[in-house]
Amino acid sequence: MTINFDDFLKLEVKIGTILEAEKVPDTDKLIKLTIDLGSEKRQLVAGIAETYEPEDLIGMQIPVLVNLEPRKIKGVESQGMILCADENGKAVLMHPDRKLPNGSKIC
């Protein structure tokens, strides 16, 4: 599927810092994240447990798609989506190479 430039401009991605991370019970892939986005904190669910241990994520800055409708995943509400790259079927987190203020917009 191809989107046009105007569609792309509708995406709102901000930098956030992971404050808490824990595995979602009864799943092999899901981790629940609490992320500080500067003006607010959000809870997200991400399928990254095959690549990362929860304790290794604390303090990491990552881009978060924030204007996505909340969705329940395995009974846990996810309020956005993190951005990852695929590396041989495993999710690899994208993150800035320098510390940025939480809530910084990706442009």
Give the pairing type, strands 81-82 and 61-65: antiparallel
pLDDT in tens, 10-69: 999 999 999 999 999 999 999 999 999 999 999 999 999 999 999 999 999 999 999 999
End-to-end CA distance of the chain: 22
Q: Is residue 68 part of a domain?
A: yes
Structural domain containing residue 33: 12-93
Does a structural domain hold residue 61? Answer: yes
Domain count, the chain: 1
User: Pick from 20, 49, 56, 24: which is nearest to 36 by CA?
Assistant: 20
Residue 103 in any domain: the answer is no
Please report whether residue 99 resides in a domain: no
Residue 104 lies in a domain: no
- Residue for token pair 């401009």: 9
The CATH number given to whatever domain includes residue 77 is 2.40.50.140
pTM: 0.93
Say if 34 falls within a structural domain. Answer: yes
**Confidence (pLDDT) at 98:** 94
